[in-house]
């Protein structure tokens, strides 16, 4: 089935990691592809220790909101290559997690239909995607859509992210 974890603030990646750990515990093979997350997120090392295949989209360039046309072209090429690698590594895995992949749509690096096609092509796997502001086309093909809603967060009072809690 296809899961989306969306919403404002904390919890989307945490939920996906928890589902990945549960799947590994049941003897399944998990591919965890990280899109647009900064280096040093604690879950990545632990998932690898548990046996997940971990992949990271590493192109950073300038911060994406400041991409000019040339930078956007480079980012799109890098994203296309990484997404192809994810697709190539999908066979042999029971669960595919694509953490923060929706930002590729918002940035113009991939069109919605490419992700919809990916979901439809892999209906035999557990697919998990995280990120904010999912397009309706992806919500329509999802089996689970969970929205994380912030009621209160220490960031609102200026707290900084803490290793092991926020990353």
Domain boundaries along the sequence of the chain: 2-149
Which residue is listed with tokens 């072209």? 73
CA pseudo-torsion sign 43, 117, 138, 25: negative
Distance CA 136, CA 124 (A): 22
And the tokens for 123?
């209906």
Give the per-residue pLDDT at 62.
56
E strand or H helix that includes residue 3: strand 2-7
Asked whether the CA dihedral 132, 137, 139, 143 is positive or negative, the reply is negative
**Interior CA angle at 111 toward 115 and 109, to 5°?**
105
pLDDT at 91: 96
Model pLDDT, residue 103: 87
What are the tokens at 128?
Answer: 């998990």
Walk along the chain (167 residues) in steps of 10 and give the mean pLDDT of each run.
92 95 98 83 87 87 70 89 95 96 88 94 95 95 94 84 76
Largest pairwise CA distance in the chain: 45
What's the rounded Cα separation, in Å, for the pair 62 and 31? 28
Residue among 148, 134, 106 nearest 11 (CA): 148
Domain 2-149 falls in which CATH fold?
Rossmann fold (3.40.50)
C-alpha distance from residue 146 to each of 42, 88, 133 (Å): 23, 28, 12
pLDDT at 151: 84
In the prediction, which pLDDT does 63 show? 54
């Amino acid at each position: 089935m296809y899961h989306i974890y969306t919403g404002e603030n904390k919890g989307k990646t945490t939920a996906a990691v928890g589902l990945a750990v549960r799947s590994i515990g049941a003897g399944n093979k998990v591919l965890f592809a990280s899109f647009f997350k900064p280096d040093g997120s604690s879950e990545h090392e632990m998932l690898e220790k548990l046996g997940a295949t971990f992949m990271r989209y590493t192109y950073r360039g300038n911060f994406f909101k400041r991409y000019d046309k040339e930078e956007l072209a480079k980012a799109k090429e890098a994203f296309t290559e990484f997404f192809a690698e994810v697709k190539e590594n999908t066979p042999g895995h029971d669960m595919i997690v694509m953490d923060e992949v929706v930002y590729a749509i918002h940035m113009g690096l991939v069109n919605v239909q490419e992700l919809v096609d990916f979901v439809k092509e892999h209906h035999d796997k557990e697919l998990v995607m995280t990120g904010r502001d999912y397009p309706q086309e992806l919500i329509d093909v999802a089996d689970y859509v969970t929205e994380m809603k912030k009621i209160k967060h220490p960031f609102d009072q200026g707290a900084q992210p803490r290793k092991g809690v926020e990353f």
